[in-house]
Amino acid sequence: MKAFLKFDIPTLAKKVLEEKLQLFDVKFQVTGFGELEFFENLNEEKLQAIISLFQDYGIEVIENQKTILIQKIKDAIHEMIFQDTPVGVKSSVYLAEKLNHSYGYLSNLFSEVTYTSIENYIILQKIEYAKQLIVNDKLSLTEIAYKLNYSSVAHLSTQFKNTTGITPSAFQRIITKRRELANKK
C-alpha cells in the first residue's frame, strides 16, 4: 500500500527543532524560518551536541555572513512560494523589502555563491511546488498557475516543460496511471 503525504516544511522543521531542543533544557525561541534565538549562553559542549543532533535531521548551523544571507534569501523564496503571497507581488520587490537589501545586491550575491540566479531558483521551487500540488491536491492547472503567480497556464506549462522535460498535463497523466496501477495491486 502506498500513502501520499502532504506536509508543510516550515512547520515540520519548527516542530523538530522544538522537540529536540527540549532535550537540552535550553531556553530558546524560533524567530523565523531557519532562525533560532537562544536566551542563554551555551557552553561549547552543549552547542556541539545540539549541532550534532541537528545534523541527523539535515539541519546545519551557519556561521558565515554571506551564507546566512543566502539562506535567508532561500527561506524568503520558500515563504513567498509555499505560503501564498498575494498575486501580483513581484519577487524582486518582495525579497528586497523582506531582507532590507537592494535586489541587485541580493541577486549578485546569490549568483556569486550558488552559481545560479535567483530567478532560476524561484522557477525550480515553483515547479517543485506545482508537482506537489498536482500529486496531492485536486486543483486544476489554471488554479495551480494562479496560486503560483503565473500570468497564464501557458506560462506555467512552458516553465514546467523546460524544467522537467514534460508538460504538467503529461505529469498529471503519469501520476494518475501510477495510482491506477498501485490500486490494482
C-alpha cell read off for 167: 508538460
144 vs 179 pLDDT, higher one = 144
Kindly report the backbone phi and psi dihedral angles of residue 56, in degrees, each rounded to the nearest multiple of 5, phi listed first: -60, -25
Same domain, 40 and 108: no
Q: Quick one: 36 and 79 in the same domain?
A: no
Residue 158 shares a structural domain with residue 131: yes
Task: Tell me how many domains the chain contains.
Answer: 2
Q: Are residues 110 and 86 part of one domain?
A: yes
CATH number at residue 75: 1.10.10.60
User: What is the span of the domain harbouring residue 22?
Assistant: 9-55
pLDDT of residue 160 exceeding 90, the answer is: yes
Residues 22 and 91 occupy one common structural domain: no
Whether residues 35 and 92 fall in one domain: no
Same domain, 22 and 79: no
Is 48's pLDDT higher than 90? no
In a domain, 4, yes or no: no
> Is 40 strand, coil or helix?
coil
The answer to whether residues 83 and 14 belong to one domain is no
Domain co-membership, 76 together with 144: yes
Residue 167 above 90 pLDDT? yes
Confidence grade of residue 100 (pLDDT, cut at 50, 70, 90): very high
- Does 15 lie in the same domain as 95? no
Are 11 and 30 in contact by the 8 Å Cβ rule? The answer is no
Same domain, 132 and 75: yes
- Name the DSSP letter for residue 115: S
Residue 106 has pLDDT above 90, yes or no: yes
Kindly state whether residues 102 and 120 are assigned to the same domain.
Answer: yes
Threshold 0.75, pTM exceeds: no
CA distance 151 to 183: 36
State how far the Cα of 92 lies from the Cα of 132, in Å rounded to an integer: 24
Confidence tier at 45 by pLDDT (50, 70, 90) = confident
